[in-house]
Chain A
Amino acid sequence: MGLRIMIAKNSGFGKLDKKKLEKAIESSYSRLSMSMLHYVEDCVGCMSCKVACPYWYVDHRYSPVNKAEELRYIYRKTTTLSGKLLGKLAKAKFPETEEDIERMVEFAYKCSECGMCYISCPFGIDSGEMINVLRMILTNLGTTPTNLKVLSEIEVKGLQAKLPETMRIWGEALQKARAKIGKELPLDKEADIIVMPSLFDAFITPDAIANTAYILEKAGVNWSMPSKPMLMKPFTAWLLGDLSSAALIGKRLVEYVKAYKGKTLITIDGGIYYYFMRWVYPEVANELLPFEVKHIIELVYELYKQNKLAFNKIDDKITWHNPCKLGRKGGVIKEPKTILKAIAPNYKDLPHHDSENICCGGGGGMALQTQECTRKLEKLTGMKIKEMISEKEKKYLYRQEKVYYLALERKAKDIDKIKPDIVVTACPTCVLSLNHASLLYGPSYKVVHFVDIVAKALE
């Protein structure tokens, strides 16, 4: 019931409340650092970033520089002398109308925060980071896409461990894992390695938990995992720029790992989850972690290098799609390729790979704002989410979904150039998007999680 009351407030989507807006802008200054000031003030407008963005290919207004300009308007107004003195002449202004808010939300949610614009900018400007600040302002203003808001609130309140349907999915995933390793799972036990899957892992990549367990058992690792899902769609709050909620959720994980004396926290999801816990959590929680955070790929790599894992060869032609927040933004580049090359003699890099890997187009909450996702969320939560979406948001969602599906084509074409049998990845959102890309644009390939292919090579 509490959840329904909270969501009912989402009728404020796209509404302008000037007092709220001022407060939202004020609170965003907590993100104003030396580098952020550089991002805001030092763009020369060369537009080198445009070709890096998956959404620019759909609409030229979605170039990173153009989207980030929404934040620059606001910050120029308050942080620069010219903005204060000249106002609109210096391109400095606050949103004044609901149309301004609608444009802000449209631009803020056409970003997967893939980091490609960051490295392609001749001046090292991270437009994705700026767009996250823009989302922070919008969230504090009360303008958050409903699906993302539901996912975030479920996780903040820990409801994924209480809802009947989510627990059924979780239970099935654990049952699969038990069957795979042929014994009881080490649940809620002290161990060096704590694997922390999310409900999203169990839902989108149902074999990933089982195969992770299988790999760890094969390598003889001392590991355990929680008996209940501690995360829904991990750290959606961070996607919304809601850092305090994200830190709160992260804190729960930290407490859990500490309670079970874990030395390493392992994520199966290579999306925001890994990136947030590995790189962002210490910053937003102002706390150094007393354990390491690794993606399962990094652990498999270490075990392989220690000769604790030996692979059978797989004949399929496989390729690797590195999730942006694991690879380009997270720094895990060589590990997955080393393993996949050891497994598959027919391994082939995508035309765009490593730091230049093309984003699947689904990150940053893009893949989660479709009607299909709304239907699945309704089933998962038992809530009537469609009824919670205002007419204004419906218009936004119509365009949002269209842009998302169109943006997938670029990735589909990149994959189609090498025509693989299997595309391996390591992020549930990438799995979703790559499947959508295959369905919509034709290249016929199977998308599997990294642990699925490794487990197969260990059988």
Chain B
Amino acid sequence: MVLLINGIDIFVFALNYMFPVALIIFIIGSTYKLARFAILRSPTKTRAPPRKKSVKSLVKGLVMTFLEPIILSIKKNPLDFIFGLVLLHMLGTIPMLFLLGQHVAFFQHYFKLYGILWPLALPLSPTTSSVLTFSTTIPTKTIVEFTNVWGPLNIILNGDVLSICVIVAIGFKIADKLMEKKAGVQSIRPWDWLSLFLLLGIVVTGFLAAHHYPSADETTAQTTITYRDIMGLHVLLADILLLSIPFTNMWHITFSYFYGKLHEFWDMRIRKGLE
């Protein structure tokens, strides 16, 4: 176990000290970002009357607004669809962040109602039957019966496989960006790298912690990096990610994705009547 100051180890620091700070910075930053939007009055006072469209057409338009980029990605950029959307987002980050058993327990600690998601909670590995709050056992080598709703899907829907999905996807994204940079693309920004490497760090440390690597043995404290240190690093990196959300491209998690698509829906489908 690595101690920081006054006997506080990295895990305690990340969870008890850094997390509240990160949360406060996140809230202040988000408020600042939203306030900038709110006070910016549109220079447009008059708008052309919208086309008349049926409710059915608008509902279809709303769905298509969100689906169109995905359809286009499948058709035109299948690699980015597989790595960027499926592996990084749909299989990796989203289910792992919100449904991994450990995360469900963590969120439930602060928000009791979150516990209703327990039946959907994912185990750490395909060989761990119980969904544990704090893994004290190293995954076994035997596939056992699962208690959540996913049944055989747990072969895929588990921390190990999903972590690998994210790691592979980030690897693809990094390689893709490097190639674009080589081609003279100027729109690759420093915070793109920051977000990717931060996410990579979180997933890798989470994966290592889940496997009690490099050591689960607390008796060798101060001489060996233990499970607790790796878990502390995992939480610390997550804290940094949380506080960076309003200031980096991670803002899409909370606001810009929804605002952007809903604005486009209003502009293109409601006003102009695109079908």
Contacts and interface: CB of A to CB of B under 8 A. Distances in A.
Interface of A: 30-35, 37-38, 41-48, 50-52, 60-61, 63, 65-66, 68-69, 72, 82, 89-91, 115, 118-126, 278-279, 281-283, 285-289, 293, 328-331, 333-334, 354-356
Contacts of B187: 43, 45, 47, 63, 65-66, 68-69, 72
Contact of A43 (B45, B184, B249, B272): B249
A46 B180 CA distance: 11
Contacts of A125: 260
Contacts of B263: 35, 38, 124
Contacts of B261: 122-124
Contact of A38 (B48, B68, B69, B260): B260
Interface string B185-197: 1111110100000
A258 B47 CA distance: 19
Contacts of A354: 275
Q: Which of B42, B48, B70 has the most CB of A within 10 A?
A: B48
A119 B268 contact: yes
Contact of B259 (A38, A82, A283, A287): A38
B272 A120 contact: no
A118 B268 contact: yes
A329 B272 contact: yes
B252 A333 contact: no
A124 B61 CA distance: 14
B43 A120 contact: no
A334 B273 CA distance: 11
A123 B180 CA distance: 21
B256 interface: yes
Contacts of A90: 190
Nearest to A356: B72
A78 to B, nearest CB: 13
B274 interface: yes
Interface stretch (B73-81, B143-151, B222-230): B73-81
12 contacts: A38-B256, A38-B263, A41-B251, A42-B259, A42-B260, A48-B77, A69-B186, A120-B72, A120-B73, A122-B69, A331-B275, A334-B275
Interface string B130-173: 00000000000000000000000000000000000000000000
A374 B188 CA distance: 37
A286 B48 CA distance: 10
Contacts of A34: 37, 40, 42
B36 interface: yes
A123 B40 contact: no
Interface string B180-221: 100111111110100000000000000000000000000000
Contacts of B257: 122-123
Contacts of B64: 355
Contact of B189 (A32, A45, A68, A328): A45
A42 B256 contact: yes
A121 B84 CA distance: 13
Given A51-B77, A125-B260, A282-B47, A44 B72 contact: no
A121 B208 CA distance: 35
B274 A328 contact: yes
Given A34-B40, A124-B260, A355-B68, A45 B249 contact: yes
Nearest to B68: A119
Among A45, A52, A66, A333, residue most surrounded by chain B Cβ atoms (within 10 Å): A45
A90 B192 CA distance: 11
Given A38-B260, A123-B256, A63 B43 contact: no
Nearest to A285: B46
Given A32-B40, A66-B185, A287-B46, A45 B72 contact: no
A234 B187 CA distance: 33
Interface string B9-49: 00000000000000000000000000011001011111111
A330 B275 CA distance: 11
A43 B37 CA distance: 15
Contacts of B114: none
Contacts of A283: 44, 46-48
Contacts of B251: 41-42
A279 B184 CA distance: 36
A33 B260 contact: no
A373 B48 CA distance: 33
A35 B43 CA distance: 11
Given A60-B180, A60-B183, A279 B190 contact: no
Contacts of A278: 48
Given A122-B70, A355-B275, 20 more contacts: A32-B43, A34-B37, A35-B42, A42-B249, A44-B192, A45-B188, A46-B80, A47-B180, A52-B76, A60-B185, A61-B185, A68-B187, A119-B268, A120-B73, A122-B69, A122-B260, A122-B261, A124-B259, A124-B265, A283-B46
A45 B264 contact: no
Nearest to B38: A34
Contacts of B177: 45
A56 B148 CA distance: 47
The 10 closest A-B pairs by CB, nearest first: A124-B264, A124-B260, A42-B256, A331-B273, A123-B260, A331-B272, A51-B76, A44-B249, A69-B187, A60-B183
Given A44-B252, A45-B192, A46-B84, A355 B274 contact: yes
A366 to B, nearest CB: 21
Contact of B42 (A33, A48, A121, A333): A33
A120 B273 CA distance: 17
Interface in B104-122: none
Contacts of B44: 33, 283
Contacts of A72: 187
Given A45-B192, A124-B263, A31 B42 contact: no
